[in-house]
Chain A
Amino acid sequence: MALENVEKNALRCLRCSNCKWVPGAHVKSWRFAQICPSIFKYNFHAYSGGGRVITAASIISGRTELTDEVAEIIYKCQLCGGCDIACRPSMGGFVEPLDVIRELRIKAVGEGFLVPEHMMAIESLKNEDNMVQKPKAERGDWAEGLDIKNITQEKAEVVFHAGCKASFDRDLWGQIRGAVLLLKEAGVDFGIMGKDEVCCGGRAYSIGYMGEFTKYAEHNIETWKNAGVKKVVTACADGFGALRNLYPKVIEEMDIEVIHISQYLDEFIKEGKIKFSKEVPMKVTYHDPCNLGRLGEAYAKWDGVEKKLPGPIVEFDPPKPERYGVNGVYEPPRNILKSIPGIELVEMERIREHSWCCGAGGGAIDAYPDFALSTAKERIEEAKSTGAEAMATACPWCIRNFRDAVEKYGYNFPVYDVIDLALKAM
């Protein structure tokens, strides 16, 4: 898509401000009623989903143009999709703010409005195949001593994709080491790519570098297919969202199933392959990562057209897929937590498709760390308001950002991956 392809979307924004709020019937309090971290922090209307749609309309119609200031508006957004979910009950497929914002970023990159921190991440991607500016050679270090099949040398139908964030962050190794131990425990025949694993490219897409994203998508699919892979499992929600939702946009026939480790673990528990024998007495709340939840719905291609009916009704032919974020992965992580002896799961107000973003997405963690951390702070406040002693989630980017916010703001509030807690119970 190009920005001009979303011109109609841009002109159709109702200016209703639904994009800033949890859908009305689900609002439970004054405190936790908002859904957009960007306008929550920056307050000007341009920082909302609708505001960026109008920005697109302004640029497309030649009223204003892309500038560094406008680029900042475009990039101070985690692409969490909250605006998209809140908009759809009224506007359906007419506006789709998330797609418009993505196109704005692609245009910004194409016209040279580049964020220095993003440029560094992309340089790292080009040189080291990861976006976290670490040496490629160290990528497989996390798996040392685990004796796992490497699919660059042996075939396997299942590949575990560790992801950039966890691979290079020792503090998060427990999550991915734990994931593969659980896969082993359940008897899954799987492999990893170790130091030859490369980025999924999802973050490149989110900051507007379509070319890089496409390159990595094509590389990964080809590599996996050559290794006989039929299923890729990841412990990173970001990667899950990229593989499940973004790859099909550029790969015609993926033929590879994408699942998140929590889905696998949920199955193992139900099948009795994983059993919990120890108590983990803890009151926890669960944070739904955006890319596992509302943006974790399976991609559904739409190549249709607009059709005018008498009335004058405008319909899409065929109808656009209904994407209200409700078909993301919500139950498996919760099921895991509920089956751990001693865990009491309490829910926040903004959950599932209305989850508040952790703050790490959309390139914000690189370019606007204050914004990323203040967004995380808001979520930690919400988590603490439930009376929980800790927060669990299912994404290394969420965990990293939450833990950094805990440290920065001086909270005493542990943040775990669901896998961490599962391992504690084994």
Chain B
Amino acid sequence: MSIAKDAYKMLESVVGPENISQDPTMLDVYSYHFLAELQRKGTGTKFVPHKPGAVVLPGSVEQVQGIISVCNRFGLKSKAHSTSFGSWNAHSWEDVVIIDLRRMDKILEIDEKNMYAVVEPYVTWAQLQAEAMKLGMTPSLAGVGCQTSPLANVTCGLGMGPFNISMGFNERHALGVEWALPNGEILRMGSLGSRAGWFCGDGPGPSLRGILRGEYGNLGGLGVVTKCAIKLFDWPGPSEIPIEGMFPKLRLSEDISDRLKYFLITFSDRERRNEATRLIGEAEIAYQMYAWGHGFLLAAVPELSHLIPRNPEDKKPPKDPVLAMSLASNSPDELLYQEKVLMKILDKTGGKLSDYMNILGVACTIFRYLTRPDYLFSGLARFASGWWITLFDFVGTPDSITEVQKSAIGTLEKWEGKNILLGCADSYCQPMYEGAHVGYLDHSGGYYDVCDTESRQSYTDMIMEINRPLVEKNIIHPTIASNKANQRAGMLMSNFHEWQKKIKAAFDPRSVSDGGYYIEVD
């Protein structure tokens, strides 16, 4: 912790003494991140190797600007985060100033007519959806968890979730944005840049979403987004999540089937499921949708997890690919129409409604995971204390995703019983968008014991073995990458890393934003 005393004093004058700390334990708590234990040059624990210089809690865009100005003046790097779930929130250098955006937690406005909400960084998906639902709307939640930040997801990182099928990939949902640039200026993007309000991300002000986040986001490496208008969409369901009972025995508290219908559908193979999703996408009937491997279904839904073998001699679970989806409409006739179309598609492609939905609790869990993903991913940790949703990930058409999976399945099956659940090599979560023509494959289902070095090492070996042949074929697209990984991947993919460097150099000439998970110029 060696940031200059003058720097600390200036930061303190910006945020107030109660909103800054250099306490060693406090800073160590900010050095602990999900998945850091898997980093090759890490500590082997969730503590990252570098110690931050200070942590600050700004309460306004002016304070964020002040912090950035101090960092520029003293040559300090800074890294901002909201709820900070994921190693990409970690700082990558010594003495980075951590900007914890927790105090900026307001929903500033919900414009019902124009269907958007203006939020600060620490609003969560659950909070935003709860307020939007009162008005018959919903944002497109990220699948990773409703306790995470919509602003961070939409402007700085990823954007996959169950609503993508009808609402598009979350990158599209950033409208007006207020962005504290690494040089200390405030840039207002979209219609906000012309003082025309928040309603449009593309103008008549600066349209820089491609610069700000591109496909997957800058993951904190390019300044701090302090406000964002997020697109809202129609929600035909009740004004509150209709569940009752007590965990783990939750159930739907009202019959919503006149407006929302939920399905779990199995297919004999991926090709048939891909055909079904293509037809569903073209028919534009799905409201929420995930394609899942059967293994993922059994792991994610606690009411089905008893079907996962515990020993090699136990009965193996089915391998039928799964579609979890919903239909939704404010009009019962339209809902009926959608269901007829769906049934025709299933008839054509051999899709079968799964009996699992008749098991107590499953229907409510599927509803929750598609509507307000609470423990969909974090709940996977109940098998072993460590897991990572992504053994490999890939964005492509459903057919190309299937080809990639097929090339990897042999290796995955080898690892069953070691770092993959028995019988669950085919474990993936695949949200789809662009009318189901594009999918994000998140092949998951790998586990390790955080407290067991051998288990962690074995997991890392497995990742290498699975990914090496895919990289050699140029078919891996890094989503959550790092400075170095982006530079390596860029050389295989149109040198995108060079463009990232140009952007970084232009917007962050003094490299004030920690680009460890984005790009660094040097």
Contact = CB atoms under 8 A, between A and B. Distances in A.
A90 B419 CA distance: 19
A30 B29 contact: no
Nearest to A330: B246
A91 interface: yes
Interface string A1-32: 00000011001111111101101111111100
Contacts of A137: none
Nearest to B455: A312
A59 B379 contact: no
Nearest to A45: B29
B154 interface: no
A16 B384 contact: no
Interface stretch (A63-71, A339-347, A356-364): A63-71
Interface stretch (A182-190, A276-284, A303-311, A392-400): A303-311
Contacts of B46: 11, 13, 15, 54, 57
Contact of A15 (B85, B130, B385): B85
B381 A311 contact: no
Contact of B34 (A16, A29, A352): A16
**Interface residues of B: mostly helix, strand, loop or mixed?**
loop
Interface in B439-461: 447-452, 455
Contact of B147 (A8, A18, A54, A352): A18
Contacts of A24: 124-126, 145-147, 372-375
Contacts of B385: 8, 12, 91, 94, 314
Contact of A17 (B21, B84, B247): B84
B47 interface: yes
Nearest to B449: A314
Interface stretch (B99-107, B210-218, B349-357): B99-107
A81 interface: no
A90 B299 CA distance: 12
B418 interface: yes
Nearest to A92: B382
A44 interface: yes
B227 interface: no
Contacts of B422: 310-311
A353 interface: yes
A14 B34 contact: yes
Interface residues of A, number: 58
Contacts of A57: 32, 45-47
A312 B312 contact: no
Contact of A21 (B19, B147, B248, B381): B147
Interface in B187-213: none
B45 A25 contact: no
B128 interface: yes
A312 B419 CA distance: 5
A90 B25 contact: no
Interface in B79-102: 83-85, 100, 102
A226 B127 CA distance: 54
B128 to A, nearest CB: 7
A15 B33 contact: yes
Contacts of A298: none
B28 A311 contact: no
Nearest to B250: A25
Interface of A: 7-8, 11-18, 20-21, 23-30, 33, 39, 43-46, 51, 54-55, 57-59, 61, 63-65, 67, 69-70, 73, 88-92, 94, 308-314, 322, 324, 326, 352-353
Given A30-B127, A30-B130, A43-B102, 17 more contacts: A15-B32, A15-B34, A18-B145, A18-B378, A27-B126, A33-B124, A39-B102, A44-B100, A54-B46, A58-B32, A61-B45, A64-B24, A70-B25, A73-B26, A309-B311, A310-B312, A311-B419
Interface of B: 19, 21, 23-26, 28-30, 32-34, 45-47, 55, 57, 83-85, 100, 102-103, 107, 123-128, 130-131, 145-148, 240-241, 243, 246-248, 250, 308, 310-312, 368, 372-375, 378-379, 381-386, 417-422, 447-452, 455
